Structure 1
Amino acid sequence: MESATLLSIFIGGLLLGITGYSLYTAFGPVSKELRDPFEEHED
C-alpha cells in the first residue's frame, strides 16, 4: 500500500475512535458521574 493510503486509514480510524469514545463518555454509563455546572447555579 502507498503511504498516503495508510495515513488516511490511520487518521480515519483515529477520528472514529475519538468520536466513539466521546459519545460513550457523554451518553454511556460514565455520564451518570458528570455534573452540570449551569444546572447547579439556576435559581
Structure 2
Amino acid sequence: MEPATVLIISVGAIVIGITGYGIYTAFGPPSRELADPFEDHED
C-alpha cells in the first residue's frame, strides 16, 4: 500500500475510535456518573 493510504486509514480509525468512546461515555454505563450543571444550580 502507499503511505498516504495507510495514513488515511490510520487517521480514520483513530477518529472512529474517539467517536465511539465518546458515545459510550455519554450514553453507556459511565453516563450515570456525569452531572448536569443546570440541574445542580436551579433558581
Compute the TM-score of the two structures, normalised by the length of structure 1. 0.94
Gaps of 5+ in 1: none
Q: Report how many aligned residue pairs link the two structures.
A: 43
Matches within 5 A, 1:20-35: 20-35=20-35
Percent identity between the aligned chains? 65
Question: Is the aligned partner of 1:4 residue 2:8?
Answer: no
Equivalent residue number for residue 42 of structure 2:
42
TM-score by length of 2: 0.94
Deviating beyond 6 angstroms after TM superposition, the runs of 4 or more aligned structure 1 residues are: none
Structure 2 unaligned residues grouped into runs of 5+? none
